[in-house]
Amino acid sequence: MKAMVIHKISKFADDSAPLRQVELPVPEPGPGEIVIKVAACAVCHTELDEIEGRTPPPRLPVVPGHQVVGRVEKMGPSAKRFQAGDRVGVGWIFSSCGTCEFCVSGNENLCPEFRATGRDANGGYAEYMLVHEDYAAPVPSAFSDVEAAPLLCAGAVGYRALRLANLQDGQNLGLSGFGGSNHLVLQTARFLYPRSRIFVFARSPGEQEFALSLGAAWAGDFTRRSPRRLHAIIDTTPVWQPVVEGLRSLAPGGRLVINAIRKEEVDKDSLLKIDYAEHLWMEKEIKSVANVTRRDIAEFLDLAARIPIRPEVQVYPLEQANQALAELKDRKIRGAKVLRI
Ligand SMILES: [Zn+2]
Ligand SMILES: [Zn+2]
């Protein structure tokens, strides 16, 4: 089968085509496992974090990609949850131990043995992928393959971030960064919190217009202060300045949720600009989002179909995965980038 693989850790500035196209054997399912014929896989900023070594794969080469939509091709012994041809999706959670204190309390995303799709096991930048049936989710028919793909990480982890934001209907929500994830969070938040107003911080005028077209009450640059105090902010940017600036707009007792697996080092000195009185005092909180649970994915797919969410996607053939990643690195973003396989 055709696959794009990460074969070494490198900086994008040194190697703008870090993925290599290879031929791999089609995987064979073991007990409880299924093989999926991949139809679409969305591109996530986490792929850049893997390639550039901020969250390096433990073994190379590895097939990246953790927003996978396809159809069940083959079932292993004792796999009985799906039938051949069923459409399923796989997100960032590839497996967890199932027995630790986090797994048994519904926080499998925090499991010390959490394994991530496309980092710790081969993912969806390929014609086929293998997963245990318990970690695949049925995909609602409301979405095409390419529309469904970004729901599995950008959407599901965004939904987790929104849950952790602890917003009440009518409170003001800030979204910092407006790419693959937050354009889905905005649509979700408008449905769940119809009386809340949403304020979007984004760098480019195009992203700001996009946010307003989806119903944001206000959109402006990261350096601006929002016209209203925000009860929660969800930050999806890869850098620090938007966090520091955002804290100024946060209401007393408000919470800023960082939805990123890693932050880049480029502007780390922005953190020195934190003034305790202005940015943190009055019981402001900063919380991170780590990984995703199966419950997040299942609940979000169901919710997305009910809203219904309209993901904005840019489609690329699998062979152009490097180009899609390069554009993501350059922040040439409108909605989510999806590989069609
Ligand atoms: Zn992701
Ligand atoms: Zn566990």
pLDDT digits (tens, 9 = 90+) for 205-257: 999 999 999 999 999 999 999 999 999 999 999 999 999 999 999 999 999 99
d(CA 85, CA 74) in angstroms, rounded, equals 9
Q: Is the pLDDT of residue 333 over 80?
A: no
Write the single-letter amino acid at 240.
W
Q: Which residues pair with 313 in a beta bridge?
A: 336
pLDDT value at position 144?
97
Residue 140: what pLDDT? 96
CA of 300 to the centre of ligand 1 (A): 15
pLDDT tens for 322-331 read 999 999 998 8
What distance in Å separates the CA atoms of residue 180 and residue 178, rounded to the nearest whole number? Answer: 7
In contact, 286 and 243? CB cutoff 8 Å: yes
Mean per-residue pLDDT for 188-199?
98
Structure confidence at residue 273 as a pLDDT band (50, 70, 90): very high
| Confidence check: pLDDT of 334 > 90 | no
Question: Pairing relation of β-strands 285-288 and 250-258?
Answer: parallel
Q: Which is nearest to 340 in space by CA: 180, 126, 151?
A: 126
Percent of the chain with pLDDT over 70: 100
Question: What is the distance in A from the centroid of ligand 2 to the CA of 295?
Answer: 15
Q: What is the pLDDT of residue 303?
A: 97
- Pick the range with the lowest mean pLDDT from 85-89, 240-244, 262-266, 333-337: 333-337
Q: With cut-offs at 50, 70 and 90, classify the pLDDT of residue 71.
A: very high
Q: What's the rounded Cα separation, in Å, for the pair 19 and 188?
A: 33
pLDDT band at 335 (very low <50, low <70, confident <90, very high): confident
Span from the CA of 153 to the centroid of ligand 1 (angstroms): 5
What spacing in Å lies between the alpha carbon of 111 and ligand 2's midpoint?
Answer: 4
Looking at residue 311, its amino acid is P
Q: Can you list the alpha helix ranges (DSSP code H) found in the chain?
A: 45-51, 101-104, 145-148, 154-165, 182-192, 205-213, 241-249, 294-306, 321-329
Q: What is the DSSP string of 284-329?
A: -EEEE--S--HHHHHHHHHHHHHTT----EEEEEGGGHHHHHHHHH
116-139 confidence digits (pLDDT tens): 999 999 999 999 999 999 999 999
Spatial contact of 169 and 196, defined as CB atoms under 8 Å apart: yes
pLDDT for 177-186, tens place per residue? 998 899 999 9
42 alpha carbon – ligand 1 mean position (Å)? 8
